[in-house]
Amino acid sequence: MADTVISFLLENLSRLIAQEIDLQLRVKEEADSLKNELKLIQAFLKDFAFGKRNNEQELTKQYIKQITDTAQQAEDIIDTYVAKIWRQRTEGGFFEKLKSSVSQLTTRHEVAGKIAAVRLRFKELYEKRNDLGIQISQSGDFFIDEHLRRRNRRLVDDADVIGLDEEAKKMIERVTGNEVRRDVIAIVGMGGIGKTTLARKVYNDSNVSRLFDIRAWIVVSQDYKVREVLIAIIRSVAGLKGDLKEMSDEELESEAFKYLRGSRYLIVLDDVWKPEFWDDFDSIFSNNPYGSRVIVTTRNLDVARRVSPVIPPHDVPFLDKNDSWKLLSKRVFQGDECPTELVELGEEMAKRCRGLPLAIVVLAGILLTKKRTRHHWSTISSSVSSILTEPNNQCSEILSLSYDNLSHHLKPCFLYSGLFPEDSEILARQLIRLWMAEGFVQQTDKKRVEIVAEEYLEELINRNLIQVTETRFDGVVKACRIHDLLRDLCISKAKQENFLQVRGSSLSPSSPCDSRRLGIHSNTEKYLAAKHASNLRTLLCFGLDDSELGSKQWKVIYNEYKLLRVLDLWAVDVESIPSEVGKLIHLRYLKLKSRKAPDFPSSISKLWNLQTLDVVAPSIEGQQINIWKMLELRHLYFRGQAVLPEPPKEMARNSDSVLSNIQTLSFISPESCTEIVFSKVPNLVKLGIYGDLEKHKGVAFAGQQSLTSLQTLKLVRDRRCASMYSLPSWKEFSPSLIKLTLSKTRLSRDPMQTLGKLPNLQVLKLIDDAYVGASLVSFGDEFTKLQVLKLVNLEIKNWEMSDGSMPRLESVVIKRCGGLVSLPTNLPQMFLVKEMELWWPSAEVAKQARGIENTRGKEHFKLFINQSETK
C-alpha cells in the first residue's frame, strides 16, 4: 500500500504549498524537496516486481514496509500541521488570535524540521533500492485487452454452469414433483464448491419459475439477525420498499406468514451457517398444501440435517478434470477456441484447482489479464503449482495469487471491500465515493474521478473478485458483493499490511487497533470508548446492534480522531450533530443517519475538504445547509430536504466563481432551485427536488435549462403539500435529461405528452400516485429514445400508445396498478421489448403478457409475474 499512501501524500503536499501562501520559507522549501523525493519513490514503486527467491521477497516486503511507515509518518506530520494551523486561525477572540500568530511561527518552524527528517529518510530508502536486487518488471506482463472490459459480465453464481446438469436435473424433478406438502431441500458443500450456482440454476429454470406464485432469494449472513431476515423476506415476497423497522418482531413474523400462507412459494435461503437458524424461521414458512418449496444452501452438515432430518442433503460434487478444463476454457476464451499450444498448460492448471469452481473462476480472472502465450501461461502455471502443493490451504493461496496479480491501484480498492459486513450488498455508488475519499482513485485530465472509479470496479468484476448483484438499465453496476472466501482474504491481507481492521462481536472492544481504517460491526459505543489509535483516518460504523451515537461518543470522535477523512455512521442513529464536527477539517466523506430532525450546525460549511455529504434524516423546516465554501464538495445526498441559501454576494457577482465539482444535489427544496443557484453548479449531473412542487413550480424549473450536464432528475412532492395539476412545458426541463422520476406528485393532467418531447429521455418512472388520472396516452414520434418505463402504484385504467411511440422501449415494469385493464394493443409488435415485470396485475393483463411470451419465446421475452393473493 506504499504507493497509495505516497500518492495521497503528494496530493496533500501540493495543496498545502498552493493554499499556504504565507508559508515560512523553510517549510515551503522542505515541502518542495519532499515532493521530489516522493516522486522518485513513487515512480520506482510502480515499476518493480518481487524477486523470485523467498529471501528476496522477504527483503522486498521489509523495504516496502519501511517506505509505507515513513510515508504515513509524513502524512501525520502534514495533516497534524494543517489541523493545528486551522485551529489557531479560527478559534478565540482578538487577543487569542494575536497570541496564536506567534504560535503559528513556532508550529511552522517545528514542522519544517520534521519534514526535513522525513525527506532525508526517503532519500536513504531510495538509494537503498539497488542493494536489494529488486527486479523491474518487463513491459507487457500485464495485458488487458480493451474488448474484454466490454464483454457481458456475469455473476459466478449464474454463469458457465458446467458439470452440474445431472445434479440440477435431480433437484428440478424434486422441486416440480407432486408432493403437495412443503418440501425443504438442503444443498451442502464447502465454500466455493457451487452450492449457490446449483440453487440458482434450479431457481431460474423456466419449468420451475412458472409453477410458483412467489419466488424469493434470501442471503443469510453468518451473524444473521432475525429482524433483518424477516424484513428481507417481506420485501422480497411483497415487493415492499418502505420502512418496516418500526414493526415488532411478532408483527414482522405475522406479516411474513400472511404473505406466504395462501401461495405456492419457492424460497431460497442462501449460505446458512447455524443450525438454530431453522428454529427461528421454520414456522414462517407455511406448511400449506400448495406444493411450496424451500431450498437451503450451507457449508454445515448439521444445518442440512436440521432443515431436512428425513431426506439426506444434496451434496455438490467437485468437478472432474474434464469439466474443470471446460469451465476454465469457457471463462477465459468466452466462446473462442483455445490455441493448441495452450491446451496442455490450461488442462494442467485446471487440474490443480482440484475441482473447486471458485478457484477455477478466480484463476480465469488472472489468465484474462495475461497475453495468450506459452511464456506468460507457464509463469502462472508454475505459481499455481507451488501454491497448490501446500497442504490444507489450496483455495486461499490461489485467491492470494489473484490478489498479487492486481495492478497497484486496484489492491487497496479490493482490500477495502473487507470493511463491509459479511454477505452485505454494497452500493456501487457508496463504494466508489469511499475510494475517492481515501485517495485510491487516480485523477486524469480527460475523465471525471467517478468514471475512473467505475472503471476500477469494472476491472475487479472482470477478474471475478467482485460479484454484481444489480445493474442499471444501461449495464452500469448498481450493487455488488464479495464472496465470503474473498472477504476473508481481504481481511487477512489487510491485517498483514496494517491496511484496515474489522471489529465484530468476537473481539473485545478494548482490543487495540493500530490501523488507519476501522470497521465496527458490533457495539459502536463500546469501541469508541476504548479510544483507539489517534492517527485513525477511516471509521465505518455499521452498528449491527442498533447503536446510538450521543454527545459522549461525538466528543471522542472530534477530540481523539482529529485526522479523520472518512466518517460513515450510516447504520448508527445520531442523536444530534455538534458544532465541533467542523473541527474535522480533513473529512472527505461524511455519512449520517438520524431518526429525529437534528440541527445542522453552520460549522459543517467549514469542512472544505468534504467531497460527499450523505444524510438520512427528517426534513427541518427552514434549516439551511450552506455549501458555498465547500469547494471540494461533489455529492450532497439528503434523504429529507436540504435548503440551500443564495450564494454570497461576492460569489453571485462573479460569473467565474462556481462550484465546478458538484455533481449531485438530492434532495433539495424547490425554493432552493433558483437560477442563481443553478448557475453556480454548472456540472450538476443528478438533481432531486422534494417539497411543495406546485407552489414553487415556477422557481424549481426556472433554471434547469442551463444545466447542460444534468442526466437524472427526481421530483418528489411532500405529502403535506398541494397536488401538482400539471407539469411545465417540456422546454423547461434540461435538454440533456436521461432519467426522470416523478413520485407522489398527483398530477391531474396526463404527463405523457409533455415528457414524450424530451429529446434524450431513456428512463421514465411514475411512482406512488405520480399521476391520478385514468388514462396514459403517448402518440407517435414521442419518447424516441425511451428504453425503460416503470409504473408503480398508479390508478390508471388505460394505457395507450400510437404506432411509432416509444420505438426503443426494452423494459416495462408495472407494479400495484391493479386497475389497468389491458396492455397497449401494439405492444406485442414492439420486438425490442425484451422484458416485462408485473406485480399483482389484473387477469387480463397477465393473460396478454403470457401471450406475448408464448409468441416471442422465453429466450426473446423475459416475463416475471407476481400474483400472490395478499398485496
Instruction: Quote the distance between the C-alpha of residue 419 and its chain's center.
Output: 12
State mean pLDDT over 850-861.
92
Task: Specify the 3-state DSSP secondary structure of 343.
Answer: helix
Q: What is the pLDDT of residue 741?
A: 98
**Please, which pLDDT band fits residue 15 given cuts at 50, 70 and 90?**
low
Q: Is residue 559 part of a domain?
A: yes
In this structure, the number of other CB atoms found within 10 A of the CB of residue 569 comes to: 25
Rounded CA-CA distance 606/21 in Å is 19
pLDDT in tens, 583-594: 999 999 999 988
> Is residue 177 pLDDT above 50, yes or no?
yes
Rounded CA-CA distance 619/511 in Å is 39
User: Of the residues 554, 582, 598, which one is the last residue of a structural domain?
Assistant: 598
Q: Is residue 296 part of a domain?
A: yes
Count of domains in the chain? 5
State whether the Cα torsion 43-49-53-57 is positive or negative: positive
**Please, which pLDDT band fits residue 850 given cuts at 50, 70 and 90?**
very high
Q: Is residue 655 part of a domain?
A: no
User: According to the per-residue pLDDT averaged within each range, which of 507-516, 547-556, 854-863 is highest?
Assistant: 854-863
Q: What is the pLDDT of residue 291?
A: 92
* More confident site: 752 or 353: 752
Residue type present at position 277: F
> Is residue 149 pLDDT above 70, yes or no?
no
User: Of the residues 356, 375, 404, which one is the last residue of a structural domain?
Assistant: 404
> What's the CA angle centered on 410, arms 406 and 414, to 5 degrees?
95
Query: Angle 374-388/340-352 helices, nearest 10 degrees?
Result: 10
For residue 109, the domain's CATH number is 1.20.5
Cell of 849: 403478457
CB 270, CB 220: distance < 8 Å: yes
- Cα–Cα distances (Å) from 422 to 485, 488, 498, 540, in that order, read 10, 9, 20, 14
Q: What count of Cα atoms within 13 Å lies in the side-chain half-sphere of residue 293?
A: 24
pLDDT in tens, 264-281: 999 999 989 889 999 999
CB 571, CB 543: distance < 8 Å: yes
For residue 217, the domain's CATH number is 3.40.50.300
pLDDT in tens, 588-628: 999 998 888 778 888 999 899 999 999 988 876 667 889 99
Q: Is residue 176 part of a domain?
A: yes
Same domain, 246 and 297: yes
Same domain, 311 and 323: no
Instruction: Quote the distance between the C-alpha of residue 759 and its chain's center.
Output: 30
Phi-psi region of 768 (alpha: psi -120 to 50; beta: other; left: phi over 0): left
Q: What is the pLDDT of residue 150?
A: 32
Cell of 147: 474488448
Rounded CA-CA distance 189/713 in Å is 47
Rounded CA-CA distance 867/265 in Å is 11
State mean pLDDT over 5-15.
65
User: Mean pLDDT in the chain?
Assistant: 83
For residue 452, the domain's CATH number is 1.10.10
**Please, which pLDDT band fits residue 566 given cuts at 50, 70 and 90?**
very high
Same domain, 356 and 278: no
Same domain, 589 and 556: yes
State whether the Cα torsion 86-90-92-97 is positive or negative: positive
Q: Is residue 835 part of a domain?
A: no
Cell of 266: 419457492
Q: What is the pLDDT of residue 155?
A: 34
Q: What is the pLDDT of residue 9?
A: 64
User: Which segment of 339-348, 482-491, 673-682 scores lowest on mean pLDDT?
Assistant: 482-491
Q: What are phi and psi of 580, to 5 degrees?
A: -65, -10
Query: Angle 54-90/25-45 helices, nearest 10 degrees?
Result: 150
Q: What count of Cα atoms within 13 Å lies in the side-chain half-sphere of residue 824?
A: 22
* More confident site: 816 or 354: 816
Task: Specify the 3-state DSSP secondary structure of 372.
Answer: coil
Same domain, 51 and 127: yes
Same domain, 180 and 284: yes
Q: Is residue 183 part of a domain?
A: yes
Q: Give the long-range contacts of residues 86-94, CB within 8 A, separation 24 or more.
A: 86/585, 87/583, 90/606
Cell of 664: 449531485
- Beta strand pairing call for 214-219 and 426-427: unpaired
Bridge-partner residues for 480, per DSSP? 426, 468
Query: Angle 394-404/484-496 helices, nearest 10 degrees?
Result: 70
Preceding omega of 667 cis (within 30 degrees of 0): yes
> Is residue 236 pLDDT above 50, yes or no?
yes
Q: What is the pLDDT of residue 99?
A: 45
Q: What is the pLDDT of residue 623?
A: 72
Percentage of the chain beyond pLDDT 70 is: 84
Rounded CA-CA distance 852/863 in Å is 9
Same domain, 211 and 266: yes
pTM, entire model? 0.80
* More confident site: 867 or 734: 734
Q: What is the pLDDT of residue 529?
A: 75
> Is residue 30 pLDDT above 60, yes or no?
yes
- Exposed / middle / buried, residue 689 (Cβ in 10 Å: 0-12, 13-18, 19+): buried
Cell of 73: 509518518
Q: What is the pLDDT of residue 688?
A: 96
Q: What is the pLDDT of residue 6?
A: 66
Q: Is residue 869 part of a domain?
A: no
**What is the secondary structure of 155-193 as a DSSP string?**
-TTTS---S-HHHHHHHHHHHTSS--S-EEEEEE--TTS
Residues 6+ apart with CB under 8 A from 327: 160, 162, 163, 319, 350, 357, 360, 361, 364
User: Which segment of 24-28, 218-222, 361-365, 520-524 scores lowest on mean pLDDT?
Assistant: 24-28
Instruction: Quote the distance between the C-alpha of residue 761 and its chain's center.
Output: 25
Q: What is the pLDDT of residue 544?
A: 65
State mean pLDDT over 300-317.
90
Residue 51 lies in domain: 2-136
Same domain, 81 and 182: no
Same domain, 171 and 311: yes
Q: What spatial distance separates the first Cα and last Cα of the chain, rounded to whole Å?
A: 52
- DSSP E strands in 380-484: the ranges are 426-427, 467-471, 477-481
- Cα–Cα distances (Å) from 121 to 38, 107, 131, 731, in that order, read 11, 21, 16, 62
Q: What is the pLDDT of residue 117?
A: 83
- Cα–Cα distances (Å) from 681 to 162, 460, 761, in that order, read 52, 32, 22
Q: What is the pLDDT of residue 391?
A: 40
DSSP label of 643: B
**Please, which pLDDT band fits residue 755 given cuts at 50, 70 and 90?**
very high
pLDDT in tens, 369-396: 888 999 989 888 887 754 443 444 556 7
* More confident site: 564 or 189: 564
User: According to the per-residue pLDDT averaged within each range, which of 21-35, 138-152, 391-405, 426-440 is highest?
Assistant: 426-440
Rounded CA-CA distance 834/801 in Å is 17
- Beta strand pairing call for 635-642 and 664-668: parallel
The label of the residue with cell 428481507 reads 232
**Please, which pLDDT band fits residue 91 given cuts at 50, 70 and 90?**
low
Rounded CA-CA distance 744/56 in Å is 65
> Is residue 540 pLDDT above 80, yes or no?
yes
User: Of the residues 299, 315, 331, which one is the last residue of a structural domain?
Assistant: 315
Q: What is the pLDDT of residue 125?
A: 78
Same domain, 393 and 355: yes
Q: What is the pLDDT of residue 22?
A: 47
Percentage of the chain beyond pLDDT 90 is: 44
Instruction: Quote the distance between the C-alpha of residue 493 and its chain's center.
Output: 21
C-alpha Rg value of the chain to the nearest Å: 29
Same domain, 84 and 28: yes
Q: Is residue 525 part of a domain?
A: yes
Same domain, 477 and 516: no
